């Protein structure tokens, strides 16, 4: 009986640890998932201004990776951030940075190159 209780406690602790880990990690979404949820937060394009002008997601803001740390005040900590770049590499890195700074973050897997929705050009 003693071992059964210890085993149950260990299983509960493992489940708690796993649930904490999943809630504190970057969520990588495909195009459809990203599109379905992005209206709930801030859409962040971390490409250069030049890349942004060639085409970007509607209602996104452009804060290039190299100036993000100086512009965190432009992001509302109470809203999730939906981040993307061209291929997903820069945005994945930025997503980790934002997560460490307390943001709830969703990354567009494959970046705008894999985006299946409309693109706005300016």
Q: Does a structural domain hold residue 68?
A: yes
The pTM for the full model equals: 0.80
Query: Residue 91: which domain range?
Result: 25-114
Q: What is the pLDDT along the chain (122 residues), one digit of tens a residue?
A: 766 666 556 565 565 554 444 447 999 999 999 999 999 999 999 999 999 999 999 999 999 999 999 999 999 999 999 999 999 999 999 999 999 999 999 999 999 999 999 999 87
Q: Does a structural domain hold residue 67?
A: yes
Q: How many domains does the chain have?
A: 1
Q: Does a structural domain hold residue 102?
A: yes
Q: Does a structural domain hold residue 18?
A: no
pLDDT in tens, 81-101: 999 999 999 999 999 999 999
**Residue 91 belongs to domain with CATH number:** 3.40.250.10
Q: Whose CA is closest to 46, among 98, 119, 101?
A: 98
Residue in this structure with the two tokens 């942004």, named with its chain if needed:
52
């Amino acid at each position: 009986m003693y071992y059964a209780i210890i085993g149950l406690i260990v299983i509960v602790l493992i489940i708690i640890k796993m649930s904490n880990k999943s809630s504190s990690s970057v969520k990588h979404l495909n195009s459809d998932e990203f599109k379905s949820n992005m209206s709930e937060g801030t859409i962040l394009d971390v490409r250069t201004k030049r890349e942004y002008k060639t085409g970007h997601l509607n209602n996104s803001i452009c804060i290039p990776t190299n100036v993000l740390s100086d512009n965190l005040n432009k992001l509302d900590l109470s809203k999730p951030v939906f981040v993307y770049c061209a291929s997903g590499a820069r945005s994945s890195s930025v997503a980790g940075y934002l997560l460490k700074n307390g943001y709830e973050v969703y990354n567009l897997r494959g970046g705008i190159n894999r985006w299946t929705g409309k693109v706005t050009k300016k």
